Amino acid sequence: MAKRRNLPYSFNLNVDHYGFPPSVGLYLPRGHVAPADSTQQRQQVKIVESEIEEKYKAFKQFDTVGDHSDHFYLKFRTVKKPSKDWVKRIQHEWKVLGKDLPDTIFVRAYEDRMDLLRAVIVGPAGTPYHDGLFFFDVYFPSQYPCKPPQVNYRSGGLRLNPNLYACGKVCLSLLNTWTGSGCEMWNPSTSTMLQVLVSIQALVLNAKPYFNEPGHSMYANTPLGEKLSLAYNEETFLLSCRTMLYSLRNPPKHFEHFIGGHFRKYGRDILVGCKAYMGGAQVGCLAGDGVQDVDEGDKSCSQNFKCSLEILFKGLINEFTDLGVGCHEFQAKIVNSGAAADTTLRL
């Protein structure tokens, strides 16, 4: 496979190291798997894994919860003496979310803070975000719906999309944080929180996020544009893997068992994808639990990408093993690959 040439219009997605805060802890304690002769400890591990599984299966798409102490908009004071129209509109939003959420979006509202929401969006298949979890904190201002909700992406300091900043800013015309016209902009009469979440999933977490960047759309459907897009997708998938590790090690409140259950269910698929990408398949070619056929001429995996992904691959195997995912076939690949990887969290 030919070496990738230096590309114009370069971008930097900071994939040299994990970059997580040093204080984050593991969802399950590192090394919790018991020695072979410790029956009691093995039983305890199975109990924990069973609890994760049960709570994941029972996890509702929409529900109300209490503790909001880790919410991004906690610093915003609650809406005092809200108008009846405001309360009625928020209740309507809850009703719509409870009835019409797609299978891959989950929302938690707060019993004592009607002005706050938290949502998680599962990365769509066929994109560099597949099987990842992307969290968003939401605030409804007192002027809502005359003003759109405020939305913050829980980035972990990573920018994996032109519309999702490392600081958490979400650029979307529907939120009036980006340019747009007509139905692209927030309309107090017709726009909803559900529309915002579905737009983020469909328009932001898409198959070719490179073209979301202003000025890049002019290269769409050109050889140069496709080359740049493929390179961007490789970098994006690395950041998506790092986001998986970040979420596992620093889960948002009320989503702990959902995160554990999600990666227990999809961990093997993610590792299959990583293995295929390290073998040269295009990022985003996954379809369900398999990998689509990729023509020889379509293979795009760069050597730098392979090296970076191999390190993250080992980190994901460690985390998924702790969750009870069967990773033996992938661990054998690590042993055969030789050098051990440093998966230490560091800034």
At 187, list the tokens.
Answer: 């309309």
Q: Nearest-CA neighbor of 139 among 227, 96, 199, 78?
A: 78
Q: Which residues are catalytic?
A: 171
- Using N-to-C axis directions, what is the helix angle for 256-278 and 328-337, rounded to 10°? 50
Radius of gyration of the CA atoms of the chain, in A: 21
Nearest to 298 by CA among 275, 282, 286, 278: 282
159 close to 165: Cβ distance less than 8 angstroms: yes
Q: State the alpha helices, DSSP H only, in the chain.
A: 39-57, 84-100, 193-199, 223-249, 256-278, 303-322, 328-337
Token pair recorded at residue 259: 């995160």
328 burial (CB, 10 Å; 0-12 / 13-18 / 19+) is exposed
Token representation of residue 28: 């399950």
Cα(107)–Cα(112) distance, rounded to whole angstroms?
16
Q: Which residue has the tokens 């070619």?
A: 285
Q: How many helices (H) and strands (E) does the chain have?
A: 7, 7
Q: Which of 146, 153, 318 is nearest to 241 (CA)?
A: 318
* Token code pair at residue 83: 């108008």
